[in-house]
Every structure is written in structure tokens, then in C-alpha cells.
Amino acid sequence: MMVLIYVSFGVLSVLSGILHYFSSGTKQEVIITSNPTFTQFQRGYFLVYFLALAADWLQGPYLYKLYSYYGFIESQIAVLYVCGFASSVVFGTYAGILADKLGRKKLCMTFAVVYSVSCLTKLSRDYAILIVGRVLSGISTSLLFTAFEAWYVHEHVETHDFPAEWLPATFSKATFWNGILAIIAGIIANILAGGLDLGPVSPFIFAIPFLMASGTIVYFTWTENYGTKQAKLCKGCFDGLRDIVQSRRVLLIGIIQSLYESVMYIFVFLWTPILDSEGPPLGVIFSSFMICIMLGSSVFKILNAKRYPMFTILNISLALGLISMIICVGSSHPKYFSPSCSYIAFLILEFGCGMYFPAMGFLRSLILPEAHRAGIMNWFRVPLNLIACILLMVLHGDPSRLGEKNIFLICAILMSVAMMCGINFAVLVKDDDDLKTSTENDKDESITA
């Protein structure tokens, strides 16, 4: 197992570098790079967003390990995870609407403060305080994945009037550098917790300066923007729900996102106890997962440059997720339990994620109405978090290896449904050129601001 981890880390790193080289320098990238106004705007967003992501990734490898280190059993840890997901369900529904009404800049600064407090709670061994920390973490996650993107899309399209076709360039680049940050964060977390023997709580404390820097830069450099500012909170909530119900495209995108990302949430909980049975370097494993995301991002850029339909790229990522869950079903059987097979399946899942997130980000940018974008995205998170909570409570009730097998079986079913919705979505939009690729309508001449 140890040999597999280090060999795969090295091979994946080399392969990622090669694919990134071949995926760089597309015609669209040249056009965008030649626009200094857009480049400056994009870098300003990335500086803030990447600091926030770095803080988030630092906590990834050792969250489960920290609770286990404090002496909590798997069922107690499952409850802690459920509290985080449940807080996302309750707060997440309104986070985007609050961002639209109160201002997305304010919510991004709120994220930095709330997440810092959540990190500080990890210093306590008190179960109640840790639950509060998980609730704050759920709130922070809702803000991280709604307010930042909503702010950027509004500034890109409305304030600066950049072409919507350039959005995938930002989403793809964000996914790639997100992977770089996560790899570095995994190695740093491994050094802090293992190499320097500072314990599994050290990465959480180290994340706080990154959060504070992110919030400070937002305060001094970002301008405020809003969605439907004058709408009442409840009205904005129901407006977002109405958009989902009335548009088949929006509904299908929501189902796909909820099912796929709920499986990702389950994976986030399960990977540590499944692979930790032989005491492997969790930070290196985490970094390997992130390299796979980078690989997927590079493949996304190559397929996009070759004008593969965006919905086809999305369906490829869904198929990879389904394959991963099928492998996990077999490898988690009590008689045939194999951490190595599970590890390979997890790598496949993360590779698909590298394709999924930029493809989904592009499709959302064109399909979701700007006025209710953040609210709609948080409605998507309601079933996402509910599914994750229910499945974790099932695991809580059956901590055996057979329980894990059943969880993965359910995840495979969820991926199958997502795949069917993806095929349905592809049939629905096959004649819509705007939803095919970001390079479909590129011109030969340069585009200036």
C-alpha cells in the first residue's frame, strides 16, 4: 500500500505536468492573455479565492484523524460530519439570497471570520464545542461555494462586460490551481502533523492567517455587488425555487449537481477510515487526490479546445464517478476488502472531479438566471446535504465493513441516476450552440476590452 501511494504520487505528478503542457496555449488562452484588463481582474479574484481555498484544503487531510485522535469513535465522528452538512442545509438555502441582498463582498468577508472561529474550536476536546465548530464550518462552506462565484460572475459579465465565453477559462484555471494549492496544502499538513509532530490540530491553526488575509484583501480591493437587492428574503428564496421548477434545464443541472456532489461528500468522510487501516501518510494521499483533479482539469481544457460539447465532458465525468463507485462496492466487501483497490477508485473519482467542476461551472453560468443565481445554487445544496446526512447516519448505524459496502452501493445508484439525467440534459440542449463549448464562437481576430 505504501509503495502504491508513493509511486502513484510520482507518476501522477509527471503525467499532470505533461498534460498541463499540452493543454496550455490554446487559441482562446492567447486571446484572453492578450487582454491586460481581464488578466488583472482575474488575478485579483484568484488572489482572494486561492487564499480561501488554501485555508480550506489545509483542513482536509486531518479532519477525521483529529476527531479520532481526540478519542471519538466512528459513530460520534459521523454525527460531527452530519452536523456540518445539516448546517449547510439550513443556512445554505439562504446564504446566496443573503449575499444577493446584503452584498456578496460582505458575505465573503463574513466567510473569513466564521471559518477562522471554526478552526479555533478544533483546539477543544469538548464534543459540544466541536459540534459548534462543525456548524460554523458548514456555514463557511456554503459561503465559499456560493458568494465568491456569484461575485465573480457578476463582475465578469455585468461590471466589466467581458464575454461570457471567457468564463470557462477562469473556472478551468481555478480548478487547476485549486489542485496545486491542495497538493501543497496536503504536503504542508503532513509536515505539520507528522514531520514536525505538532499533532492533527496544527493544520487548522495554520489555516487562520490565510483566512484573515483573504478577508482583508476583499475589504480593501473588492467592490460590492448585489443580486435582487430589493427583493425580500422569502421572495428571493421562492424566486430561485420557481426558476428551478419552471426550467427543465435548471432542474436537470440541479439534480446532477446534488447527486454527484453528495457522493463527493460521502467520499470526504469515508476515505480516511478506509485507507488509514495501514497507517499511510494521509497528507500524501490527499495530495495524490488533488493531482488527479489537476489531471482532470487539463483533460477538460484539451477536450474543450477540441470543441467537444460541454455536456459531453460533463457526462464523461459522471461516467468516471459511476465506475469509481462500482469498484468501491467490490473492494469494500468484508471478504475482499482491499484498501489498494479503494485507493485507485478514489483516484478515478478525483480525476472525474477535475473535469466535472469547470464543465458544471460553465453550464451554470449560462443556464442560471443572474438575478437568482446564488439562491438557486443553494437550493441545489439542500438535497445534496440531505442525501449526505442520511447516508452518514446509515453508516453511523452500521459501522461494519458491510455498512461501507452498502453506502458505496447507494452511491453507485446515485451516480447512475445522475448519469441518466446527464444524458437527458445532453439530448435537451444538443442543438444549443451556446452550451456546447467555450471556443465554439471564437473569432480569429483579437478581442480587446
What's the CA dihedral at 136, 141, 144, 149 to 10 degrees? -140
Query: Which residues make Cβ contacts (< 8 Å) with residue 228, sequence separation at least 6?
Result: 100, 101, 236, 239, 371, 372
Residue 56 banded pLDDT, cuts 50, 70, 90: very high
Give the mean model confidence (pLDDT) for residues 151-163: 84
Confidence (pTM): 0.74
Distance (Å, whole) CA 349 – CA 30: 31
Quick check: 320 pLDDT over 90? Answer: yes
Render pLDDT for 44-55 as a digit per residue (tens, 0 to 9): 999 999 999 999
Q: How many CB atoms lie within 10 A of CB 122?
A: 25
**The amino acid at 31:** I
Which one, of 122, 120, 178, lies nearest residue 148 by Cα?
A: 178
Render pLDDT for 229-265 as a digit per residue (tens, 0 to 9): 544 555 556 666 777 777 888 889 889 998 998 898 8
**By mean pLDDT, which of 102-111, 153-162, 292-301, 368-377 is the weakest?**
368-377
Is 142 part of a structural domain of the chain?
yes
**By mean pLDDT, which of 209-213, 306-310, 410-414 is the weakest?**
306-310
Report the pLDDT value the prediction gives residue 110, as an integer from 0 to 100: 93
Give me 22's grid cell.
Answer: 499540452
Is 20 part of a structural domain of the chain?
no
Question: Which whole-number Å values give the CA distances from 388 to 53, 81, 124, 143, 225, in the listed order?
Answer: 22, 9, 26, 18, 32
Quick check: 277 pLDDT over 90? Answer: no
Residue 447 banded pLDDT, cuts 50, 70, 90: very low
**What residues make up the domain containing 65?**
38-435
Buried b or exposed e, range 86-108, using 16+ CB within 10 angstroms: bbbbebbbbbbbbbbbebbbbbb
Distance (Å, whole) CA 34 – CA 20: 20
Is 24 part of a structural domain of the chain?
no
Residue 78 · residue 395 · CB < 8 Å: yes
Is 444 part of a structural domain of the chain?
no
Render pLDDT for 195-206 as a digit per residue (tens, 0 to 9): 788 889 999 999
Which one, of 289, 314, 283, 286, lies nearest residue 300 by Cα?
A: 314
Is 216 part of a structural domain of the chain?
yes
What is the tally of structural domains in the chain?
1
Is 1 part of a structural domain of the chain?
no
Residue 9 banded pLDDT, cuts 50, 70, 90: confident
CATH number at residue 238: 1.20.1250.20
Is 4 part of a structural domain of the chain?
no
Is 29 part of a structural domain of the chain?
no
